[in-house]
Amino acid sequence: MSVTHIELTSATLEYESEGRGPALVFAHGAGGNRLSWWQQVPALRDRYTCITFSHPGFGSSTWTGNVAGTVEFSAVLSELLDRLEVDRVALVAQSMGGWTCLPLALQQPNRVAALVMASTPGNLHTPEIDEAREASRGALESLRRAWDARSPGSSNPAVGARCLREQPALHYLYSAIQGLNPPRSFEDRVRIGPRDMAEYQTPTMYVIGEEDVVLPPPIIEAAARITPGARLERVPQAGHSVYFERPSEFNEVLAGFLRDVYPS
């Protein structure tokens, strides 16, 4: 295990590289950081070199100067891969991580061998995706307000009510990892539409938690429909953080996809 910090042009990143074999990078969501992947790395490190990192503004990763509003996460990840001399990689993106990884797959198709979009449409925008987002916005904001106020019966929307009810310790751990992040905001500045995806060739799999209230299934289904050749996997009784709530199911689906398109 090797946890370290690396100084890049626009940020200082906390990252860890563990295991052996082809490179496999995990990009966390807005509720997580490098630690979020504690159930995936042990399951895959015997076959892949697992690289986890905290985005700038998360965990102990920091931006350099006042560049947070101008530098995309995809550029930061690209430079990290350059510095680590990773020429070929599979990417696993959770929620916000999709905004990091999908642009990189579009910009560097020869580098990105495979992409897993877990509970995320990334930067994809179509009328169908945007309408589905808008339809769920009010309910999500209500859930977030209740959780922020710790109202009786409320749960963290990122893992959901079922997780709190059936796996309270896991719900607590998710929220504790989330609490390690300093206050921050995330803005979707890049917009990718169907025209951008016309020549897309990266093997891609979308994973849906059937009880996701943050990015509900219709959003992910719509994203998969405009991604050429995309595979779509559904995990029942799972919310927004399938990898965290249902690690056995997620790891099995992930390992199977990687065996097909990015063998170790």
pLDDT tens-place string over residues 99-146: 999 999 999 999 999 999 999 999 999 999 999 999 999 999 999 999
Question: How many whole angstroms separate alpha carbon 106 and alpha carbon 72?
Answer: 14
Is the per-residue pLDDT at 226 higher than 70?
Answer: yes
Q: What band does 1 get if pLDDT is binned at 50, 70 and 90?
A: low
pLDDT digits (tens, 9 = 90+) for 165-218: 999 999 999 999 999 998 766 666 789 999 999 999 999 999 999 999 999 999
From residue 16, how far is each of 2, 28, 129, 196 by CA, in Å?
6, 13, 34, 32
Distances (CA, A) of 58 to 43, 61, 62: 24, 6, 7
- Taking the model in full, what pTM does it have? 0.96
Q: Looking up tokens 């042990």, which residue turns up?
A: 42
CA distances from 151 to 143, 145, 161, 165 (A): 10, 9, 13, 15
- Count the alpha carbons within 13 Å of 124 in the hemisphere toward its beta carbon: 33
CA distances, 29 to each of 32, 36, 88, 215, 222 (Å): 5, 9, 23, 12, 20
Residue 2: predicted pLDDT: 65
Q: Which residues share a beta bridge with 27? A: 53, 93
Q: Kindly report, residue by residue over 87-107, the tens digit of the pLDDT.
A: 999 999 999 999 999 999 999
- The average confidence (pLDDT) of the chain is 95
Query: What's the confidence (pLDDT) of residue 189?
Result: 75
CB 109 within 8 A of CB 79: no
How long, in residues, is the chain? 264
Instruction: Check residue 70 and give its pLDDT.
Output: 87
Give yes or no for a contact between 64 and 9, defined as CB atoms under 8 angstroms apart. Answer: yes
Fold of domain 3-261: Rossmann fold (3.40.50)
Hey, where are the domains in the chain?
A: 3-261
Q: How far apart are CA 101 and CA 215, in angstroms?
A: 17
* CB contact at 8 A, 95 and 240: yes
User: Is the predicted pLDDT of residue 75 greater than 70, yes or no?
Assistant: yes
pLDDT (0 to 100) of residue 250? 98
Question: Among residues 86, 96, 91, which one has the least CA distance to residue 33?
Answer: 96
Give the C-alpha separation, 154 to 214, whole Å. 15
Look at residue 190 in the predicted model and tell me its pLDDT: 86
* Cα(13)–Cα(9) distance, integer angstroms: 11
- Three-state secondary-structure class, residue 245: helix
Sign of the C-alpha dihedral computed for residues 134, 250, 179 and 56 taken in this order: negative
* Count of Cβ atoms closer than 10 Å to residue 187 Cβ: 8
C-alpha 54/C-alpha 142 separation (Å) is 28
Query: What is the helix (H) or strand (E) element at residue 146, kind and residue range?
Result: helix 127-148
Distance linking the first and last C-alpha atoms of the chain: 20
